[in-house]
Amino acid sequence: MPERLLPPIEVKSRTISQVPQSNNVPHFPDTFEAEKIYDIVEFSPDNLFAMFQQETGDHRLLTAEEEIEMGQAVQQAKAAEAALQAGEETDQILACIEKGRRAKEVFVRHNLKLVTSVAKKYQGHGLSIEDLVQEGTIGLIKGIEGYDPERGFRFSTYATWWVRQGVTRALADKGTTIRLPIQVHEEINRVKRISRQFETTEGREPTNAELAEILAISETHLTDLNNAVTKTNIESLQKKVMDSEREVGEMIPDAQQVSIEEQVEESDQRAIVQKILELGGLSDREKEILSLRCGLKTGEPQTFKTISENKGVTRERIRQIEVGALKKIRANPLFKQMVKEYLE
């Protein structure tokens, strides 16, 4: 017969006997012991989770008899809390509430390995393993409060659903920059699951029509769900790249910045245009108009409208001057020779 995890309560003194300290039962160190444990450990982000795993590994799973005992204590404590809120305050009620609190602690400590095993399956989806374990533990506590040992099933079977729900809902709520409603996130997960099953059985990806028919939804709604996945798949610019110290933002090219190759090519083209204008045969006005149109003076090519407003003439007149100047350039033998050299 396993050793009882919660010995009888002394009602008069409103205290609980100390839990036996061995490798097979939960151990709650006093302040001095806790300080002695943590003084010898160097805290860092890398070893905190390893410490947590080591501590949770010291607690075995509860037996069926112990789960019944703990579950009954928690349920009795809930009834006692209801009675306390109704105005009944007795030593027995207070002791029952304290016993339920300690039973809940035992449940949590002996099932943290279950939380860790579930949390590890959801790594890499937007939350760290520490956050996943934390959210899973919150789900575990909800499972403890709702567990009814009289139904006859083991606690781990019942709690796994609550732990998984806590983790998945945390991912839906906090795992992406743009938050989606929980029901939408669950629909997206269902689409992904059905799509994987179809691909496994049929050997190919399903079409939108096939997938919508299986899910019993419209193709428009399916498209909206797929778009929601794409638009919420956003990474922080401050996120580190793999194991390096570089951030994602440092590796994204600036679309407005001209590359070195483009700068060199543009400089060469400007020099060629300038040489063409100096071939001879063009008036000063024609050279000026072509220079403005090619952006040699301002760096940006100007439109007929801008040049005509500055010169006080019509856009058509500026166009005519440009056409006439280009005809003169094309008729120049030196221009033909420059084009041939450039192409070669």
CATH of the domain at 266: 1.10.10.10
Q: How many domains does the chain have?
A: 3
- In this predicted structure, what is the pLDDT of residue 161? 92
**The Cα angle at residue 294 between residues 290 and 298, in degrees rounded to 5:** 105
Task: Please tell me whether residues 47 and 131 are part of one structural domain.
Answer: yes
* 16 plus 84 within the same structural domain: yes
What is the reported pLDDT for 30? 36
Phi, psi of 21, rounded to the nearest 5 degrees: -100, 100
Q: Considering the domain boundaries, does residue 221 fall inside one?
A: yes
Residue where one domain finishes, among candidates 123, 147, 174: 174
110 and 61 co-located in one domain:
yes
Same domain, 186 and 155: no
Backbone torsion region of residue 90, taken as left when φ is above 0, otherwise alpha when ψ lies between -120 and 50, otherwise beta: beta
| Tokens found for residue 50 | 């390893």
Same domain, 265 and 154: no
Contact (CB, 8 A) for 325 and 290: yes
Cβ-count burial of 96 within 10 angstroms (0-12 exposed, 13-18 middle, 19+ buried)? buried
User: Dihedral (C-alpha) 149, 151, 155, 159: value to the nearest 10 degrees?
Assistant: -120
Please tell me whether residues 77 and 130 are part of one structural domain.
yes
Q: What is the tens place of the pLDDT at every residue in 9-43?
A: 443 333 333 333 333 444 433 333 333 333 444 44
Does residue 147 sit within a domain? yes
Q: Are 39 and 146 in a shared domain?
A: yes
Asked if the structure places residue 108 within a domain, the reply is yes
Q: Per the domain annotation, does 294 fall within a domain? A: yes
Residue 247 lies in a domain: no
Tokens of 245: 């110290």
Q: How far apart are CA 319 and CA 293, in angstroms?
A: 10
Spatial distance between the Cα atoms of 234 and 247, rounded to a whole number of angstroms: 14
Displacement of CA 104 from its chain's centroid (Å): 32
Q: Which alpha helices (DSSP H) does the chain contain, by range? A: 31-39, 45-56, 64-85, 91-109, 112-120, 129-146, 155-174, 182-202, 208-215, 219-232, 260-277, 284-294, 304-311, 315-331, 333-343
Prediction pTM value = 0.49
Q: CA angle at residue 242 from 238 to 248, to 5 degrees?
A: 30
Domain that holds residue 150: 9-174
Tell me which residue has tokens 């149109």: 293
- pLDDT for the residue 45: 53
Q: How many residues does the structure list for the chain?
A: 344
Residue by residue, pLDDT tens for the chain (344 residues) are 444 555 444 433 333 333 333 334 444 333 333 333 334 444 455 577 777 777 777 788 888 888 888 888 888 888 888 888 888 888 888 888 898 889 888 888 888 888 988 998 888 777 888 889 999 999 999 999 888 888 888 888 898 999 999 998 888 777 666 677 778 878 888 888 898 898 888 888 888 888 888 888 898 888 888 887 766 656 666 666 666 677 767 777 666 766 777 777 777 777 877 777 777 677 888 888 888 888 877 778 888 888 888 888 898 998 888 888 888 888 877 777 777 776 66
Q: In this structure, is residue 153 part of a structural domain?
A: yes
Is residue 246 domain-resident?
no
Asked, for residue 4, whether it belongs to a domain, the answer is: no
* Rounded-to-integer distance, Cα 184 and Cα 268, Å: 55
Same domain, residue pair 140 and 87: yes
Same domain membership, residue 131 and residue 35? yes
Q: In this structure, are 146 and 201 located in the same domain?
A: no
Query: How confident is the model at residue 5, as a pLDDT?
Result: 55
Q: What is the DSSP letter of 249?
A: G
